Amino acid sequence: MTRLADDMNEALRRLGVDNRSGYVITALYKFVDLADYRALQPRLQTLCDAHDIHGTLLLAEEGINGTVCGPRHGMAAFLDWVEADGRFNGLSLKFSASPEQAFLRMKVRLKREIVTMGRPEIRPAQATGTYVEPAEWNALIDDPDVMVIDTRNRYETAIGSFAGAVDPQTDSFREFPAWAENLASGEGGRPKKLAMFCTGGIRCEKASALMQDFGFEEVYHLKGGILRYLEDVPREDSRWQGECFVFDNRVAVDHELKPGRHAMCHACRMPLAPEDLEHQDYTPGVSCHHCHGATDAERRQRFAERQRQIEIARQRGGAHLGAAARNELETRRRDRREGQQED
């Protein structure tokens, strides 16, 4: 067994996960020059398919990014492959557990950027801000000269963030450069130091490189992101407030990295608290109070049919969505890509 597989087992042991049960969710990324990224696509797809690993991996010339889920033995094989390629030394990895498969299928996609900011000329593999370990984060953000910036989107910040963090109120990471440029202009005062964070570390790492390009000299970013902070920092010492949005069927996790209290509106993708599910505008799979009235009759009909297929599959004990539901999910993903780039 390789070092990365050992790291996975140790991380799961700390989470109190039984060695024999469930699935492993692995979030990973690294900014690294991958001139052959196109050639890696079929090799990774074949590897994951062979080991029952589902999820999404993004490959670009600037590196690799993604979240995958599979049985422990399959994830160990995946990590063995990764470790055999020396370019992935130092890969950022975060492990968590799931009682079931968290994703419908496996997709390895080719992209211009592994996290879409719309600034492919910004290359964190060549220059980026200063990593800050979770154990040192509290002291940094307590510094009155530091502006703490949440680089995530508004649907994520709505359910949790660090106390006192600035929220740029973006709907996608593509909007962040415009907000950052305004901050760099000095309108309203230019901060001396910046401390940036995101879910797993990738967006804040790229954002730190952008801030350096805008002329900020002291730029810091949380190594491993919120998820690593929640794993390493005891609750009694934590500055985190609320839950952390994650991009899988758990929707959000609490401070112990266990599934939180939020569900998701499968029409608009907004996280919903338990009380939101009692709102008069909430219809499972069709709408919530965030999006009620914002979709036309045709799309509502498609959403309702998808939900009907999900219920049929659930009643039959099916492990997958029906064909109509799967097609609708693909339509929504396409609509989302056209309206705002994934990050």
Q: Which residues are catalytic?
A: 198
For 81, phi then psi, to 5°, come to: -65, -45
Residue labelled with tokens 């039959």:
316
List 35's β-bridge partners, or say none: none
Residue labelled with tokens 């902070």:
229
Structure tokens at 196: 């940036």
For 163, phi then psi, to 5°, come to: -55, 130
User: Which are the contacts of 28, defined by CB distance < 8 A and separation ≥ 6?
Assistant: 64, 65, 66, 67, 68, 82, 91, 92, 93, 94
List 161's β-bridge partners, or say none: 241
Residue 118: count other Cβ atoms within 10 Å of its Cβ: 15
Residue type, 262: H
Structure tokens at 218: 């002291």
Q: How far apart are CA 325 and CA 143, in angstroms?
A: 50
CA distances from 6 to 15, 75, 93 (A): 14, 11, 12
Residue type, 243: E
Cα torsion 304, 309, 312, 317: sign: negative
Cβ-contact 207, 127 below 8 angstroms = no
How far is CA 154 from its chain centroid? 14
Structure tokens at 88: 């992935």
